[in-house]
Amino acid sequence: MMQSYGRAWVFGDDIDTDVLAPGLYMKGPLEELAAHCLEAVDPEFAAYVREGDVVVGGENFGIGSSREQAVQALQYLGVRLLVAKSFGGIFFRNALNFGIAALTCPDAGRIRPGDIIAADAAAGIVRNCSRNEDYAAEALPGRLLAMVQAGGLVPYLEKSGSAISGKDAET
């Protein structure tokens, strides 16, 4: 099912987790860290990104350290969809774990800043509503899609009853 997202914020290749979550702000509150998300490549991003907007990357989006805060900053700012030619492996999994759909799309480079994007993560389709174009993406398997739709790994486990209860954890 096609889901509407928002306008595209487009970044290039090799955007690493240090740019998404700058080390200088790692010890502060998430609000402060998020205010500096991607400022090294777009100083206006954190101030102007809105709920539902889409971050589009080139090759290796999210490479670098395994810091979860890189995804948490995007989540805090309202990003709900990531589209890139390729992702850093740990970043990709962190995105799904925090409820952000991440779609690998070879044609991500066709998306321009400000384009309005929709996606069907189950079917592997990214729709550029501004250009009336569809791009093939790697579909998210059912269980991962359900996890994203639940808001991430923890809410998914709580909702599905798969989480370890306190009693089980004691044994």
Query: Which residue in 77, 105, 92 sits closest to 17, CA to CA?
Result: 92
pTM for this entry: 0.91
pLDDT value of residue 170: 43
Fold of 3-170: Aconitase; domain 4 (3.20.19)
Distance CA(78)–CA(54), nearest Å, equals: 9
Low-confidence ranges of the chain (pLDDT < 70): 162-171
End-to-end CA distance of the chain: 42
Give 113-144 pLDDT, tens digit per residue. Answer: 999 999 999 999 999 999 999 999 999 999 99
What's the Cα-to-Cα distance from 37 to each of 12, 21, 83, 84, rounded to whole Å?
A: 15, 6, 17, 17
pLDDT value of residue 80: 94
